[in-house]
Amino acid sequence: MIIPCIDLMGGSVVQLIQGKEKALERTVDEALDMFKGFPLLHVIDLDAAIGSGDNQAIVTGLLKRCRARVGGGVRTVAMARRLVDAGAHQVIVGSAAYSRTGVNSTFLAELVQEIGLSRIMVAIDTKGGNVVIDGWKTVLAQKPLDVIVDLEPFCGGYLCTNVDREGLLQGTDLELFFALRDATSKPLVAAGGVTTLGEVRKLVSAGIEVALGMAIYTGRLSIVEVRELQSEIDS
């Protein structure tokens, strides 16, 4: 499956380079029009993720108009419950899923009890070979392959972002995603730097879902061709 991303900041849809520099900005309506017909979207509240406010009203409105996984600043069980009640297909949990020494199993166990295993997707964001949290500012000692097994009892799938390639339009690290695919039987979503249709095809062929952002917003990837590939996948 191919999943377009709607990243929210200051009430607008944005794309950032390396999570820092704003490269482009769109309205929510423009993004929804572009992605009409895709079976699932990723909606990420960047303001909530970095602790500079939130776009909660916009997220709630989006969930009435599309099927989506939602993430960004989900740090409490109560917040995850609110998102599910608002219509989120799944909740993406990032920083709160980890402690400084590994997996935050206490929080995740409470989350499973509240919203159920299948509703939880854990983010495994990687930079320089290590897991990063707190808006990609804090580097943990753990590697992605260290945590994916420990996270297995607490989620219905994983979103892995290759931060090193995020927003650069220079291609992604396919081997990273292939290695993670081999380490779990649960759904895996690849994000960060996916630039060409060839990369998308290789990932999908390996049983990996693909989250797309910068490449389709800039036109580097033709939205028409991406739609056609999704139609192939659906059939």
> Catalytic positions, please?
7, 125
3-state secondary structure of 209: strand
State the DSSP H helix or E strand holding residue 203, giving kind and residue range, or none if neither: helix 197-205
Whole-angstrom Cα distance, residue 115 to residue 77?
8
Residue 84, Cβ neighbours under 10 Å: how many? 19
Residue 175: partners with Cβ closer than 8 Å, 6 or more residues away: none
Nearest one of 196, 192, 194 to 136, comparing CA atoms: 192
- Give the E-state strand segments of 94-229 in sequence order: 98-99, 102-103, 120-127, 130-133, 138-139, 157-162, 188-191, 209-212
